[in-house]
Chains A and B, each alone.
Chain A
Amino acid sequence: MAVSAPPAPSRTCNVTGFLIDRNGQRLALANVIAAFALLAFGGFQAILIALQRQGLPISDDWWYRLLASHGATMLLFWLLFFEVAALYWGSTMLLNARMVAPRLAWANLTMMVVGVLLAQWAMLAGEATVMFTAYPPMEAHPLYYAGVLLFAVGVLLACVHFFSNIVAAKREKVYEGSLPLVVYGLAAGAIIAIYSLATGAVAYGMLFLNSIGVLETVDPATYRIFFWGIGHGAQQVNLAIMVALWYALIAFTVGGRPVNEGLSRVAFLLYIAFIHLGATHHLLVDPGLGTSHRIMNTSYMLYLAVLASLIHAFSLPASIEQAQRERGFTRGLFGWLKKGPWREPGFSALVLSIVIFGFIAGVSGVLMGTMQLNMLIHNTLFVVGHFHATVVAGTTLAFMGFSYYLIPLLTEKRLVAPKMARLQPYVFGGGVLVLVLSMLLAGQMGVPRRVSDLGYEAAPVGVDMFATGATPLVMLAVTIGALIAVVGGIMFVYVIAMTLIKGERSETPDEGLRIAFGPRARMRAAAGEGIPAAAAERAPTGTDVATDEEHEHVTGTKPRWRRFEAPGTYVMVLGFLAWFVILYVVAHFNLSMSWPVG
């Protein structure tokens, strides 16, 4: 693949010290701009969908169209465009490498854009009101399936491009040794993307052939197995890339390094090997599957993919703790966290994203994926709450935080309105938290998903249980949370769009941010700027420094915590586990209160 083209012009980034390939820069930027446009579009739809719940007069037909488009826009299009940009960034800029075939990448992008336009047309014109899942035998316009397929092939080619860039970089020896951890994580995401998109192509391919009359029927159960290979698989791509960018944000915001390179990499390998089995979460109350099949798959083979997430759950905060302690914030168990750069948008986005993802999205996901518990959850609003916790509070927030660095560094423009950027993650994260918690609660109360009228006013056999009692209040909280999140989204789009349009071109585009990585950060550190209060917080007696040889490289741990590399993190993960265990027990108690069934 390493075609020898004349070397593309490149520049050295003043902030990070990386060599920036201008083709990579332009392509990453183009993909990321398409991503933001789709995010804004999906956010606008979210306003209408949420307000309809409170009486905004939108016909049922249009509400379903908007819901279909919102789902595809946010779950597939926005995230995958952003991820393609992240893959280009990781495989060129982090490796000082180049895009091996920029023309091909422009062709991918065109395919993806055309695919999205076709699919959006079909959904909004009412030709494809089948939702993102498109379960047969419901039928949509052939161009809907063709659009999604075209998009998927575009993303597949981008993944191939990612690996081609790495292979070329390796051959041309522009980086030495192993891939950086972030690129390794991105590679895991790209591998998962390739097999997920391939299964998705089979699923939508069957429907496309069916819609043009080539295939007579598509078996609904078989389709579901293939569809969830992409339906869930795409979310696992989001997971792997989000974790990779979390590691990147740690470097950008606190100058962190991996606590243990090897362990973090093993965790990514576990994702690659096992996480796709989670597709079965969607099939747990389907006819046609046996008990062992359900248990082995839903548990990702002994929960080895969950083990991977639990490894990251330790490694990520430990990496922050270690970096903060090295910067001198050594007081107490949590002094490092308290003194974190909370006004740095990447840091607040990172921490909120990790916390909501772990405590709510991850735990709710494992509960839903427990075979018997799934009966209480399948297709209720709980599912919707879960994936808003993963994809909106987790992935989208992480991507937003990352964008505050990516955009200035790619465009060499200073961030416009950094103060708004500082506030934005809190508004967005807070709004999504309200949204997610109320959706989860509504799901526990039985509220079904994808229903335009919870009053069932037009139903021959009426159901008034969701129009009375506490449910309307919970649904009001869903709307309020959604609207707050949308405000956070508007703030984000404003900052990014203004930066792109009006941002001041600068040699030092990191002005207004405090990037803790690269030559400029080191200069600041040398000038005593980057490490505030370091000397004051640390007793200069030498008792601070671990004497145990094994921990000598980890400074800042006080003697009574000498046995721990990251004592604060250790306490936090134990707290997390306790929360997990409690919810697991409560969920089984709820199950035991239900009608005997089998």
Chain B
Amino acid sequence: MADDQDRSGSEHGAEHGAEHGGRGELSTLLPPKERWWERLGPDERRWLTIAFVWCLVLFSGMYVWLAIGDQQTPIESYRIDPFVFQQEVDAFVEEYQIDERDGAAVVEPPPGSDVYLHANQFAFRPVLQLQKDEEYRLLVSSTDVQHGLSLQPTNLNFQVLPGYLYVIRITPDEVGEFPIVCNEFCGLGHHVMTGLIVVD
């Protein structure tokens, strides 16, 4: 079995391969010829350059959006004892509750304040009444399992972990009722886990 290759002879590759009993041909399935590092062809060079530039654009794009975008990934977060969180939520509801709706407390906190949102099986409570164009700090945590905070239809989605307080600054910029659904599987009542933000 000869192993030698005629690099420029691949036009006749089929015949060549046949002559060499199948071990002389080039294929993705066969060991490459001795020196398999060839110089990049011009197309490859060009494409590699373009592709790398695009990768750098994708990378720097995130920093550019940090500088110019109004929608940023929330970073501020703390560890919190679920028991403490529960107490803070209760105090918050007691202080600002204005109404009740479908069995859930409706709370109207002062504009621009810290607002608690409690996720547990299977509800986001309380119902929040917020004012348009005011920034609120949403303090979100869970007291049982993991949940997914999905604010619709603006479609903002965050992970809620027990033991972690996630601070999400939001500025509602439209008036209306905005449902919250849970989009992290949290048990057999996952499909009844909802909440509500009312903006006026």
Contact = CB atoms under 8 A, between A and B. Distances in A.
A408 B48 CA distance: 38
Interface in B2-27: 3, 7-11, 13-15, 17-18, 21-22, 25-27
Given A60-B188, A595-B170, A284 B29 contact: no
A448 B154 CA distance: 13
B195 to A, nearest CB: 6
B71 A591 contact: yes
A177 B34 contact: yes
Interface residues of A, number: 131
Contacts of B7: 553
B156 A460 contact: no
A268 interface: no
Given A60-B188, A596-B71, A307 B55 contact: yes
B107 interface: no
A541 interface: no
B27 A448 contact: no
A460 B104 contact: yes
A237 to B, nearest CB: 19
Interface in B93-110: 101-104
A448 B71 contact: no
B43 A182 contact: no
A178 B104 CA distance: 68
Interface in B135-160: 135, 144-146, 148, 150-159
Interface string B165-185: 110111111100001011111
Interface stretch (A203-211, A419-427, A449-457): A449-457
Contact of A580 (B18, B54, B59, B187): B54
Contact of A307 (B14, B44, B52, B71): B52
Given A260-B41, A371-B62, A376 B73 contact: no
A596 B170 contact: yes
A377 B58 contact: no
A326 B41 contact: no
Given A260-B44, A577-B54, A453 B191 contact: yes
Contacts of B153: 445-446, 465
A334 B71 CA distance: 43
Given A247-B28, A380-B150, A17 B144 contact: no
Contacts of A298: 62
B67 to A, nearest CB: 12
B66 interface: yes
B18 A526 contact: yes
A290 interface: yes
Given A251-B27, A450-B185, A221 B164 contact: yes
Contact of B31 (A177, A445, A566, A577): A177
Nearest to B26: A257
Interface residues of B, number: 106
A387 B159 CA distance: 19
B26 A311 contact: no
A575 interface: no
B22 A291 contact: no
A594 B154 contact: yes
Interface string A216-235: 00011100100000000000
B62 A135 contact: no
B27 A459 contact: no
Nearest to B48: A311
Contacts of A257: 10, 25-28
A310 B36 contact: no
A458 B192 contact: yes
A311 B51 contact: yes
A450 B168 CA distance: 24
Contacts of B164: 220-221, 287-288
B55 A262 contact: no
Given A260-B40, A465-B179, A525-B14, A138 B146 contact: yes
Contact of A181 (B28, B51, B101, B182): B28
B111 interface: no
- Highest count of chain B CB atoms <10 Å: which of A181, A314, A595: A595
Interface string A253-279: 001111111110100000000000000
30 contacts: A129-B187, A136-B145, A137-B145, A138-B145, A220-B161, A247-B28, A260-B44, A261-B36, A262-B37, A265-B36, A284-B73, A285-B158, A287-B164, A287-B166, A288-B164, A299-B58, A307-B51, A370-B61, A372-B73, A376-B155, A448-B181, A449-B183, A451-B190, A463-B179, A522-B14, A522-B22, A525-B14, A577-B50, A598-B72, A598-B169
Interface of B: 3, 7-11, 13-15, 17-18, 21-22, 25-34, 36-38, 40-44, 46-48, 50-52, 54-56, 58-59, 61-63, 65-66, 69-75, 77-78, 101-104, 123, 127, 135, 144-146, 148, 150-159, 161-166, 168-174, 179, 181-188, 190-196
4 shortest interchain CB distances as A-B pairs: A287-B77, A448-B183, A303-B55, A310-B51
